[in-house]
Structure 1
Amino acid sequence: MEHDQLVTESLKSENWSEGFESFITDENGSDFMNDDVCFPEDLPFAYIFIPTLYFMIFLIGFFGNFFVILLMVRKQGNKRLVDTFVLNLAVADLIFVSTLPFWALSEALGYWYFGEGLCKFSSFAIFVNRCSSILFLTGMSVERFLVVTKHWESRTIGTKKNISISSGCIWMASLLFGIPSLIFRKLISVENKVFCIDDQTSTTFNLVMFIVTFLLPLTVILFCYGSIFIKLQGHISLGKRRNNALKIIFAIIGAFICSWLPFNILKVFYIFTIARDISLSCQALKALRWGFTISACLAFTNSCANPIIYLFMDQQFQQQIRNNFPALCSMKATTQSSALTLSSTESSLLFASRKKLTPATSIQVGGTKRKKEGLEVSSCIAKPGPQLFKGSNFKMLL
């Protein structure tokens, strides 16, 4: 997978070879080996913690993204362009997390068990997910930017033609960037153990991937949501609606940056050392290896965080839950409705279309019916997360 690729590349650098032996340059610039061979060292108990974390990401990500897809497919009425992005993003994350059990078992065993075919496919799936996820997030940012700041209508942007073109271009670009994984991923044998590694170490390719899959999308996202922030700041009358909208903005940006920034910082550093032909000490290489392992795990959690952000913070998704799964709404109907219920203008300011919304009416909790925006729905709290995923530790993902 992605961190395995860079870790194994470091093993093949001048400091660590595939046989885990090479010359290391000491502080005085002299070369030494034999007694001072620099052996790669994994994190303590990594064979336990990493597989456990991968399985947690798999379970939460699989059911979370599957639930998002189910809601989007069953959604009635006209679909917005942002809905299509959410659906495609969930599909990409679902494909990715489906490969995690293979990598979890591989981490537990200490070698690759599933043959070259799955080695290539699972690596291909990771690259495609990485590209498509970030590009769809960027597309959502641009769409919200046009709707909120330029006053474009969502139904005007989200025509079938625009949806097909935008989604098709993103998937084609993602598949294109994933092709090198199919070509260069292979199995190697080291000390009677088989490993799934990437056999190309092109710094140019890695630099292009960094720019396309992180730096450029991050710039676009920050610009779009920065503009939205300024726009909302200029509307003092929004009050609580503005605050809720800003919370969604910070959640989107925060999850993206917190998940991917540490990994990409290490990646830039690694590319720089390769390009400059810089020799690292044994301790530095060990720290880099550990850093890639931890930061990659953190990046993978983004596939679990996305359903939380785009499902549980969007009033329209919550409305779909109430309409499609009314039984879930009666689990805990004794909660204070005024504290947990958001009006459509408050929670969907960034995700809903720019149609005029009516204020939310008062709600009586306790299994009764309520009227809201001309629709009669079952009483339900606005945040169904704890009921749908009871016992899951979401705090580690946000």
Structure 2
Amino acid sequence: MQQGARKDARTRSEKERERSSIILRAPHTPLIWFPCTNIYTVMEFSTLTPEDFGERQAVSGTPRGVTFVEDLLLVPSKGNETSGVSARSATSLIIAVCITALYSLICVVGLLGNVLVMYGVLRYTKMKTATNIYIFNLALADALATSTLPFQSAKYLMSTWPFGELLCKVVIGIDYYNMFTSIFTLTMMSVDRYIAVCHPVKALDFRTPAKAKLINVCIWILASAVGGPVMVMAVTKVTEKGSTACTLRFPEPEWYWDTVTKICVFILAFVVPVLVITVCYGLMILRLKSVRLLSGSKEKDRNLRRITRMVLVVVAAFIFCWTPIHIFIIVKTMVNIDHQNLLVVACWHLCIALGYINSSLNPLLYAFFDENFKRCFRDFCLPHRSRSEQSSFSRARNSTKEPASVCASAAARRAPA
């Protein structure tokens, strides 16, 4: 009896030591786990293929999918392990097709819309205002982000990364550049609006196209402080299944630097900018409520409020689309969540989709809230109608001496009526 009790106690003690120890990767334990600290690192969204569902690897990657295993939808249940291979194959195909369809739509809308925004700012002289130059910078970052979606779609369909290490570095680097340049640009747009509304005298000196261009250059330099090292750390590696993954290789200890990176990105690319934006718009709201007429004329005042409202909507859309992914990453970094819960996985995919949707949403917001962008989009898409309207407009302007259209090119404005 005593020997049996000692044997049972020894067995329980061994099991407890196994639980508290660090479990390294093995054929039946496909993850690197730190149960004592509840901190682990996994392969990120944009480098995983649907065939990798159910695995965790000690790597990290792009900000939109920096810490989650998206392939958990394909983990067979304990009661259905015999049909795990067939179920995994069918589900991975469905997921790959759905992701490809969604990414294709985002890519087409995002690329076309953001290219049109950049075209409008570059083409038409009167569109080159300080606010529109910031919008150009935002459209450039969004266009670059959406241009990577075909590569990610191909990766999902092929269940591997077939484009080599150079494109791997470019795609991951663009993802980080997009995140930092977008939020920094929106922060400067909010500061620009604050100065225009609350300090109209200082705005005459600060809010110039030349200074806006200089600030845009500084934004890209700041983003390079993160984007450059990320491109250096981006590598391709062959998984145990023989497929190629595009991911980040952190210095040792890898889990520590991965966690530090996520926290720093959360603070620098989300918390601090959102606080600055909130303060700027809080002060602007107080100013708008206390003063009925901000400028010397009602028309200028109406235009100022309209632009402020458009920038606020664009900022709100960005915060709405990016808050879930940032919160999810931080929560998952600090807490061991259930990765096999389908609701958790579905929420993760929704967070990823929202991050990319924001890149294609901004041009639609410009067209909806800004009449100048709306006219420029219409002029580009319907050139014949635009020319006939421009001819009628020129005749009317010749008789009424009205100002030229914002979207009329410089050559058209110089031409005689």
SS in 2 for 1:93: helix
Residues of 1 paired with 2:227 and 2:407: CA distance? 46
Residues of 1 paired with 2:347 and 2:365: CA distance? 27
Residues 295-334 of structure 1 aligned to structure 2 (within 5 Å): 295-318=351-374, 320=376, 327=383
The AA in structure 1 aligned to 2:248 is D
Residues 356-367 of structure 1 aligned to structure 2 (within 5 Å): none
Residues of 2 paired with 1:379 and 1:197: CA distance? 44
1:197 aligns with 2:247: yes
Deviation readout 1:226-263 (Å, 9 max, x if unpaired):
22222222245789959856753552233112210111
1:11 aligns with 2:61: no
Is contact 1:106–1:112 with CA below 8 Å preserved after alignment?
yes
Residues 44 and 262 (structure 1), Cα distance of their counterparts in 2 relative to 1, 3 Å cut = farther
Superposition deviation, residue 315 in structure 1: 3.2
Superposition deviation, residue 160 in structure 1: 6.1
**Could you tell which deviates more after superposition, 239-248 or 83-92?**
239-248
Superposition deviation, residue 330 in structure 1: 5.5
Superposition deviation, residue 85 in structure 1: 1.1
Q: Tell me the equivalent position of 1:272.
A: 334
Q: Tell me the equivalent position of 1:384.
A: none
Deviation readout 1:317-338 (Å, 9 max, x if unpaired):
34555777773655999xxxxx
Q: Tell me the equivalent position of 1:225.
A: 281
Residues of 2 paired with 1:72 and 1:374: CA distance? 22
Residues 230 and 2 (structure 1), Cα distance of their counterparts in 2 relative to 1, 3 Å cut = farther
In structure 1, list runs of 5 or more residues that go unmatched.
22-31, 334-365, 381-398
Is contact 2:230–2:248 with CA below 8 Å preserved after alignment?
yes
Q: 1:126 aligns with which of 175, 180, 184?
A: 175
The AA in structure 2 aligned to 1:224 is C
TM-score (norm 1): 0.69
Is contact 2:103–2:153 with CA below 8 Å preserved after alignment?
yes
SS in 1 for 2:125: coil
Residues 126-145 of structure 1 aligned to structure 2 (within 5 Å): 126-145=175-194
Q: 2:272 aligns with which of 209, 213, 216?
A: 216
Superposition deviation, residue 213 in structure 1: 1.1
Q: 2:340 aligns with which of 283, 292, 316?
A: 283
The structure richer in helix per residue is 2
SS in 2 for 1:11: coil
Q: Tell me the equivalent position of 1:261.
A: 323
Residues 142 and 301 (structure 1), Cα distance of their counterparts in 2 relative to 1, 3 Å cut = same
Deviation readout 1:94-123 (Å, 9 max, x if unpaired):
112111110111122222121111111111
The AA in structure 1 aligned to 2:359 is S
Is contact 2:130–2:207 with CA below 8 Å preserved after alignment?
yes
Q: Tell me the equivalent position of 1:157.
A: 206
The AA in structure 2 aligned to 1:226 is G
The AA in structure 2 aligned to 1:214 is F
Residues 236 and 148 (structure 1), Cα distance of their counterparts in 2 relative to 1, 3 Å cut = closer
Is contact 2:165–2:246 with CA below 8 Å preserved after alignment?
yes
In structure 2, list runs of 5 or more residues that go unmatched.
1-42, 60-66, 73-77, 409-417
| RMSD over aligned Cα atoms | 4.4
Residues of 1 paired with 2:406 and 2:135: CA distance? 25
Residues of 2 paired with 1:44 and 1:229: CA distance? 50
Residues 82-97 of structure 1 aligned to structure 2 (within 5 Å): 82-97=131-146
Residues of 1 paired with 2:378 and 2:93: CA distance? 46
Q: Tell me the equivalent position of 1:180.
A: 229
Superposition deviation, residue 272 in structure 1: 1.6
Is contact 1:65–1:307 with CA below 8 Å preserved after alignment?
yes
Residues 44 and 288 (structure 1), Cα distance of their counterparts in 2 relative to 1, 3 Å cut = farther
Residues 324 and 12 (structure 1), Cα distance of their counterparts in 2 relative to 1, 3 Å cut = closer
Residues of 1 paired with 2:401 and 2:185: CA distance? 30
Residues 74 and 153 (structure 1), Cα distance of their counterparts in 2 relative to 1, 3 Å cut = farther
**Could you tell which deviates more after superposition, 186-195 or 212-221?**
186-195
Q: Tell me the equivalent position of 1:146.
A: 195
Is contact 1:54–1:104 with CA below 8 Å preserved after alignment?
yes
Flag the structure with larger Rg.
2
Residues of 1 paired with 2:268 and 2:376: CA distance? 34
1:169 aligns with 2:218: yes
The AA in structure 2 aligned to 1:374 is E
Residues 136 and 253 (structure 1), Cα distance of their counterparts in 2 relative to 1, 3 Å cut = closer
Deviation readout 1:285-306 (Å, 9 max, x if unpaired):
x655443332111111111112
Is contact 2:133–2:213 with CA below 8 Å preserved after alignment?
no
TM-score (norm 2): 0.66
Superposition deviation, residue 59 in structure 1: 0.7
Superposition deviation, residue 150 in structure 1: 1.5
Residues of 2 paired with 1:57 and 1:77: CA distance? 30
Superposition deviation, residue 211 in structure 1: 1.0
**Could you tell which deviates more after superposition, 155-164 or 191-200?**
155-164
Q: Tell me the equivalent position of 2:402.
A: 374
Name the % identity. Answer: 24
Residues of 1 paired with 2:393 and 2:68: CA distance? 66
